[in-house]
Chain A
C-alpha cells in the first residue's frame, strides 16, 4: 500500500486515525499501541500477506533474544546472545538479499554452472533488520528491557517508517509510547502532520514522478544501445538526481507527518542534502538515520578514526562500500558505495590542507560528484553505467547524437502530444511572437527536450531556494510546530493541484521501497 494511493489516503489512514483518536483518551495506552500494531501489520501484509510471517517471526525472535540478554547476569553470556542475535539477523538479511548475487558472482568468477537461489525479498527487511539490531545492542548496553513486547513490536512495525525508514533508534521512539500523553496527539501535532504529509505528497506526485520519465527514457535509451548526446545524458542524469532527491525527501516528510498524526516524533532523515558544500556534509544530510546506523554500528566498532591514518581511511571506504551494497545486491551499488567512500576519504584529507574553496565552487563540486555517482546507482549493470558515462562525456555527440547541426536539430522539434492542445490554442490565436531559426516557436517551446529542461531547471531552483519544511514548520530547539499562513496556503494549493492532476499522472512506488 503506497502512501499516495487512494486506498491509503481515503480508507486506511482515516480508519486508523479516527479509531486511534476515538479510543486514545478512553483506554489504557497498550490498547492504542495494539491498535496501531495491528494496523501496521495490515499495511505491511497488504501486497504479500506471507511476508507478515517473516516480520512477526523476526520481531518475536529478536524480542526473545533481548529478553535472554537482559536476564543473564553474566556479561560474556549476554555478549554471546548479542552476537548470536546480530549474526542471525545479518544471515537472514544476507540470505534473502545477497545469496543470488553471491552465487552468480562465484559462478562467473570460476566459470561454474550454478543456479542462483531465487527468493521474493520480504518487504523492508533491510530496514526492520537494522532497527532490531539497534534494539539488541541497546538492551545489551543498558542491561535492561526498555520496551514491553507490544511496544517493541510497534517500534519495529510502525507503518509510517516500516517500509523505507527512517531507521529509528529505540530511544528515539519507545519512550514516546510510554508517556501518559500517548494516544492523545495534540492539535499542534495534527496541524503539523497535515502540512508535512501534504508537502511530501506534492514532492512525490508533482515533482519526483514528473521527473521520472525524463530519467527513465534517457537511461532506457542508453541501455538499449542507442547513442545519447551529452546534453540528453546530462538532462537524464540531472532528472534522476532530482527525482531521487524529491522521492526520498517526499517519503521522509510523509513519514514524519504520519508519525505526528499519531503524536510520534520520528527522526529527521533528510536535511536538504543538495545544499551540502562537501561530501561529509552531504552524508550528514542524506538518509541521516542510515548514516548514523553505519557510523555507530560499523565505522566506530571497526576503529573509526582513532586507529591510525591508514585504518581511518580504509574503515571509511569499507563502511561506505557496505552501505552501498545495503541498497541492493549489484556491483553498481557496490561501486556507488566505494565511490562515495573514496570521495569521503578525499574530503577528509582535503580538510587538513590549507586550500579552501569558495562556498559556491564547493557546492558545485559536491553536487556534481553526487550526481555523477547516481549513474552507478541508476544503471542496471556496470556495462550500462559505463555506456552512460561515455554519453555524459560526449562520446556520441554533445548536443545531438546523430551529428545534426544545432540549426537543423531545432527544425526537427515537435510539440509533445500532451501539450499539443495548448500549442494549437496559442497558434490559432496567433499569439506566438514569430519563428525561431525558421521553426515555429511553439514547436520549440513545447518540444520534449525544452519541457524536460524546464522541469529539471524548475526542480533545481526549488531545491536551492526553498528551505526544508521542518526548518520553518518547527521550532529549531524543541521541534514544536510553528504555524504560518504560508504553510496553510502551500498545503491547500498542493492538495488542489494533486486532485486536479489525479486523472492524468503516472505514479511510481518510492525508489527506497525496493531496498
Chain B
C-alpha cells in the first residue's frame, strides 16, 4: 500500500467512523425515557399553562430559583397582569430559556429574568442540559448554529448516548413499553388539571414534578428536608461574563425590542449565611460585572442584591430554592421596584 492509498483509506475510515457516531447520536436523539420524564413533563405542563393565557402577561424565566422563588398569584393580584412561570433548571442554556419566552410572549408583555449568577458566567453547555435536551427537545439542537452544535455535542456524555441507544433498542424489542414509556402530553395535562381540581388520586412520583405546579407554573409542594448549608452564590468567582451569554442576550434583547416585550432583571433570592458577604471585594466585583453587562444591553435590575437576601429559614431543599413563604417574601420585596417600571 502506498502513502497515497493509506491517506485515502484513512479519510474513508474517518468518514465511516464519524458516520457511525452520527448514526448512534441520531438514534439517541429524541428518545424520552424515565430519567428524563421530570423535565419533559414539567415543560409540557408549563407550555399548557402558557398556551391558555391571552391577556397582557408577565413571564418569569430563569433557573430553579425562579421556578421556586415567585408567588405568581400575588404578582398577578398586585400588577393586574397574568403571570406564567416558565423557569425550571439552572443548567438550561440561556438560548433555550429565551426560546421558551419567544414561543409565547406577545407585544406589551413583560419578562422578569431571574437568572442564577452562574448563568452569566457559563461559557458552555452543561452536560445535564445537553443530555436532557437531546432527549426531549431535539429541535433545539437542530436550531443551533454549526459552532454551537459542536459545542453542544462536546458536552454530551457518550455514556448517555449509549443509554439512549439501548432504550431505542428496547423500543424495537417491546421491552420499552413495560416501564419506560413516558406519559403522552394529553395525559400529563389531564393529570395536572385533576391535581389542581383535587381529583388526582395517583402517586406523585418525585417531589420535583409537574404535579407540584400551581396554575401559574410555580413550584408549590413543600415536603422535603430543608437546606441549612452555606453558599456564596458564585459571587466569589472571578469569571467574566461569558461570550456565550453576551451573544445570547444580544440576540434576545434585539428580539424583545422588535416585539415590544419589556425585559426586567431580577436578582435571585439568596440566603443569609456565613459564606455570603456582599461587602467582600470579589463579590462586589462580580455584582459590578453583572450589572455592567446588563446595562450594556440596556437592561436594569429591579432593586439591589441586598434587597433579596432572605432569612435562611425561608429556604427549602437547596441554597437556590425558597419555600412558599420565601417566594412570597421575595415577590413582596420585588413589587415596589416592579410597579415603578411597568409601563
Contacts and interface: CB of A to CB of B under 8 A. Distances in A.
Genuine A/B complex:
yes
Given A424-B35, A485-B1, A504-B127, A430 B179 contact: yes
Contact of B157 (A418, A485, A491): A418
A29 B129 CA distance: 53
Interface residue SS majority, chain B: helix
- Among the interface residues A188, A424, A425, A496, which one has the most CB atoms of the partner chain B within 10 A? A425
A492 B16 contact: yes
Contact of A485 (B2, B9, B158): B9
In this complex, the interface size class of chain A, counting residues with CB under 8 Å from chain B, is 20 to 34
Interface string B150-161: 000111111110
B342 interface: no
Contacts of A484: 1, 6
A428 interface: yes
Given A484-B1, A487-B6, A496 B21 contact: yes
A194 interface: yes
Nearest to B2: A483
Interface residue SS majority, chain A: helix
Interface string B25-59: 00000000111000000000000000000000000
B200 interface: no
Contacts of B20: 496
A489 B9 CA distance: 8
Given A428-B179, A493-B17, A495-B14, A421 B3 contact: no
Contact of A426 (B13, B156, B166): B166
A501 interface: yes
A479 B2 CA distance: 15
A502 B163 contact: no
Contacts of B175: 429-431
Interface in A241-284: none
B118 to A, nearest CB: 18
B3 A190 contact: yes
Interface string A421-442: 1101110111100000000000
Contacts of A186: 3
A187 interface: yes
B185 interface: no
Contacts of A422: 159, 162-163, 166
Contacts of A429: 166-167, 170, 173, 175-176, 178-180
B103 interface: no
Contact of B13 (A188, A418, A419, A493): A493
A188 B3 contact: yes
Interface string A496-515: 10001111100000000000
Contact of B158 (A187, A428, A491, A500): A500
Interface string B69-81: 0000000000000
Nearest to B168: A425
A501 B269 CA distance: 37
B163 A496 contact: no
Contacts of B163: 421-422, 424-425
Contacts of B156: 503
B224 interface: no
A191 B6 contact: yes
Nearest to B169: A429
B1 A430 contact: no
Contacts of B173: 429
B140 interface: no
Nearest to A431: B175
Nearest to A192: B3
B5 interface: yes
B7 interface: yes
Interface of A: 186-188, 190-191, 194, 418-419, 421-422, 424-426, 428-431, 481, 483-485, 487-489, 491-493, 495-496, 500-504
18 contacts: A187-B4, A191-B6, A418-B157, A422-B163, A424-B34, A424-B35, A425-B33, A425-B163, A429-B166, A429-B175, A430-B178, A483-B3, A488-B13, A495-B14, A500-B158, A502-B154, A503-B155, A504-B158
Given A487-B6, A488-B12, 15 more contacts: A188-B3, A190-B3, A418-B159, A421-B35, A422-B163, A425-B33, A425-B166, A428-B34, A428-B180, A430-B178, A483-B6, A484-B1, A491-B14, A495-B17, A496-B17
